[in-house]
Structures are given as C-alpha cells and as structure tokens.
Amino acid sequence: MRVPYTEKKKYNNRMKISVKIFIVGLLILQFVGCDSESIYKDEHYKNLVYLLSKGNENVFIASYTLNEESPVQYVTVGCGGSNTNDKEIVVKIEPNPEMLDRYNKINYDYESQYAKLLPESQYEIPSYTVTIPARSDYHYKRMDVRVWPDGLSPDSVYFVPLKIVSVSEYEVNEEKQDILFRVTIENDYATQYPQTYYRKSGQLSNPLVVMSGTKLVHPLSKDKVRMFIGNELYNDDTTPEDIARKSVVVQINADSTVIVSPYDSSMMEVEMLSTVPGYNRYNPSLVQGLTKQRVLWLNYRFRQKNVSTGQFGSWRDVEERLIRIEE
C-alpha cells in the first residue's frame, strides 16, 4: 500500500528534527566533557602546599626519648597534587600561639587543664624556611625540631604551634596551613603517647588487698618511671594532690635491680623490703612460651600522710609483679 504524500512529508520532517536534536546533543556532551576535563585538570592536579598532620585539629605527635641523646624529629612540609611541582617552592613558617589558644578553648573546660606551649628553652628549630626542590620525587621536605625533653611532665600536653606565612610558588592548603606539633616523652620502660600499661598482680597488707587489673606507668627520666600504689587509678579527674599522695617512683638500675621511692616525700614515706626472694628487679626479656615479656618485681612498704591530721599512717607492705602490655 502506498503512503500518502502528506504523511511521507511529515515523517521526513520528523526525521530531520530528530537528527538535528541528536547532533546538538553530541555537541553539548562534547562541550561538557571538555569543560569537565578542564575542571579536573585545574582542581585535581593543582599544587597546594601544606603541613602534614592528622585529624581536624591538625595535630602531629612526635616522641622524644629521655635517654642520653634524643633524636631529631621533624615537621613535614609537602606539596600536594598528582603532578610534581615544576618550580622550586620556598616556604616560610613561624610560631602560631593563637592556634593553641583556640585548641584549649575548644577541648578543655578549665585553664588548669590547658595544653601548654613547649618552653623555648627546651627546643630549637634551626630554620623556619623550607625549600622543596623543583620536580621533587618525594613532594615534601622536612624541618628539624630539636627537643631537650628532660624535665617535661608526663601529666602535661606540650605543643609547638606553627603556621605557613608565605610560599614563593603555588597556593597554600587553607585546611592544612597550620599545625600543633605535640612533643611527648618516652624511655625504655614507658611512653607518654600512646600510654603504657602494665598488668599487675600481687597484694597489699594492712588490710590485705589483692591487686589485679592494669596500671598506668609514666616515664620520668632515663631510668625512672612513676606509678600509683596498689589499685589506685589515674584518670582525667586525677589532681596534682592525688599524684603527690599516691605515687611512687621506680628506678631501674644498670644491673636490673630496682629502687622504689616516694614521688613526693612530704606526702609519703617508702622503705625497700626483701621479704620475697627474687623481687626488686627488672627483666626486659622474660621468655614465656613463644613470647618475651618485660617484667618488674617490686617489694617495698609505704605509709601516707593524713591530710587532715598531718600525721603519717600505718605501714603497708607491697608484693607486686608488673608485666608490660605490648601492642
């Protein structure tokens, strides 16, 4: 059957319109594709200079040993982007105490809890200018931070706040332009961060108390750590007065013998005992099955001052074994 001329003409017109729409659609897609590719190149491959840190508060934690010579740690200055930097980048950095003020107001309720500026006498940054070479294979450069950790308290949080103030090339990542460089301390027996716990067992006399659970141990100096007596717990509510009244210091000697003394001699008296054979020593590699354990055996007695009367109470004997909990 033959198609009427008018119907055939309408059909051809519809086909022409469809073809035109198809061609226009292809042109739009091509334009959008080119524009997306341009945006992708502009944004994805963009070189942004930053300070390496973790989390929304831009904190970087570095641990310094209390042994004879603490190694140098670093602030890392990087240049992000999928392509290498074609130009040398000179980055200038300076202290930023305002950042620490903001951190304290956000994280703490009371000034007594505030994190502290690391004393200037206990650190050195030889140069606040860092140069990232052109076409660097690593996309970063490190700035030395030397610290003398002796005397830092394990109960305090110390920061060196820093910020980028200028770059010779490219732009600065606004979200990573500053850093709270946290300084923590450690020795062979404990670390401030992450905190070190020992598994405890043993007993106290007068009255008889069985010790169990875990005990937080703080580094103090090259050969000394601090811990609470018995089953006393150290937590966020612990006050300086609690620490003074409840803490002992354990010194580990070169021959692996140990000496226990009061942290604050005005609040506690301590005497060494030898009632348990083999105690008052440290073994850094006690073999238990297929593992090695770091173990402290302690035998001493203590008495605490009564705050209300000012008099020392009765002596209490301690027999305690502490096994370091490893990650």
CATH value at residue 179: 2.60.40.1740
Domain range enclosing 100: 48-186
Same domain? For 60 and 131 the reply is yes
At residue 157, the pLDDT reads 97
At residue 13, the pLDDT reads 56
Same domain? For 216 and 256 the reply is yes
* Structural domain includes residue 95: yes
pLDDT < 50: residue spans in the chain = 1-3, 5-6, 8-11, 24, 27-29, 31-43
* Structural domain includes residue 144: yes
At residue 17, the pLDDT reads 55
pTM, full prediction: 0.84
3-state SS string for the chain: CCCCHHHHHHHHHHHHHHHHHHHHHHHHHHHHHHHHHHHHHHHHCCCEEEECCECCCCEEEEEEECCCCCCCEEEEEEEECCCCCCCCEEEEEEECHHHHHHHHHHHCCCHHHCCEECCHHHEECCCCEEEECCCCCCCEEEEEEEECCCCCCCCCCEEEEEEEEEECCCEECHHHCEEEEEEEEECCCCECCCCEEEEEEEEECCCCEEECCEEEEEEEECCEEEEECCCCCCCCCCCHHHHHHHEEEEEECCCCEEEEEECCCCCEEEEECCCCCCCCEEEEEEEECCEEEEEEEEEEEEEEECCCCCCECCCEEEEEEEEECCC
At residue 11, the pLDDT reads 47
At residue 45, the pLDDT reads 64
Cβ–Cβ < 8 Å for 80, 89? no
Same domain? For 248 and 180 the reply is no
Same domain? For 279 and 180 the reply is no
Same domain? For 214 and 269 the reply is yes
pLDDT digits (tens, 9 = 90+) for 270-315: 999 999 999 999 999 999 888 999 999 999 999 999 989 999 999 9
Same domain? For 200 and 319 the reply is yes
At residue 37, the pLDDT reads 46
At residue 198, the pLDDT reads 98
Same domain? For 135 and 214 the reply is no
Query: Domain containing 201 — which CATH number?
Result: 2.40.128.440
* Structural domain includes residue 33: no
Domain count, the chain: 2
